[in-house]
Structure 1
């Protein structure tokens, strides 16, 4: 049995912290719970709560270019509680002009690919239940 209880946070770079935080607030109802202004030796950062004590930490780097290929992380996925919520989220993202794909059924989950404002590919997933209708 694992001693961990899940992922606490993911850290990612952004060229514009305000724009990225607004995107997560508008799309996911996320909330900034910590912000630190840039100082000598430390870039500006913010921690955004996604719910359930899960966070994304944004580090502002004006020179960042996506997709960032100097790390081993390809992308990260956010979780929602149901296919219905995933559908609502897709509609909200489409209305906001976000770069999104179609909802796809995988063996254990529904997946919605999207691209954040910096061009980083991400996903939102919902657990698939037996008998779920088509997306």
Structure 2
């Protein structure tokens, strides 16, 4: 029997209400380069996909969907990785220069975290690969290690 294997994440899709605003914002914040558009039968473009430096080969797609965008407000569907806390500090400076509100650098479950919202209120995370070594397991909402994955059940 062949082993079932994944080969990464092809793309992440984020619902939006305004493609032009979204494209401009993601270009300013992340350096997004649009690579493909999705034109409907009526000729209107209602979605696009693009590349963000540092994410290749994973791409980010955006699709107009007012209901899904409203339902995603305040939710964090994706955490983009950065290497270190110093990299997060560089992102803080960048977001400040653009006037984008953000959290302070947070000591999250494993690494450091920076949180901010896109124009539709979708919450985005920048999370470090570098670990801080602080045990947060006793704090509500923070991660705890699963010691026996085969027997784990959500309560």
Bin for the TM-score computed over the shorter chain: 0.7 to 0.9
Go from structure 1 to structure 2 and tell me whether the alpha carbon gap of 1:2 and 1:50 turns closer, same or farther (over 3 Å shift): farther
Q: Which has the larger radius of gyration?
A: 2
User: Which of 36, 48, 54 is the matching residue for 2:58?
Assistant: 54
Go from structure 1 to structure 2 and tell me whether the alpha carbon gap of 1:100 and 1:60 turns closer, same or farther (over 3 Å shift): same
The corresponding residue for 2:120 is 118
- Aligned residue pairs total 128
CA RMSD of aligned residues (A): 2.8
Q: Is the 8 A contact 2:115 2:124 kept in 1?
A: yes
**Given the two structures, how large is their TM-score scaled by the length of structure 2?**
0.68
Deviation at 1:87, TM superposition (A): 1.3
Deviation at 1:129, TM superposition (A): 4.1
Q: Is the 8 A contact 2:83 2:130 kept in 1?
A: no
- Indicate yes or no: 2:70 matched with 1:66: yes
Deviation at 1:117, TM superposition (A): 0.6
Unmatched 5+ stretches in structure 2: 134-155
Q: Which has the higher contact order (CA 8 A, sep 6+)?
A: 1
User: Which of 15, 28, 37 is the matching residue for 1:13?
Assistant: 15
Unmatched 5+ stretches in structure 1: none
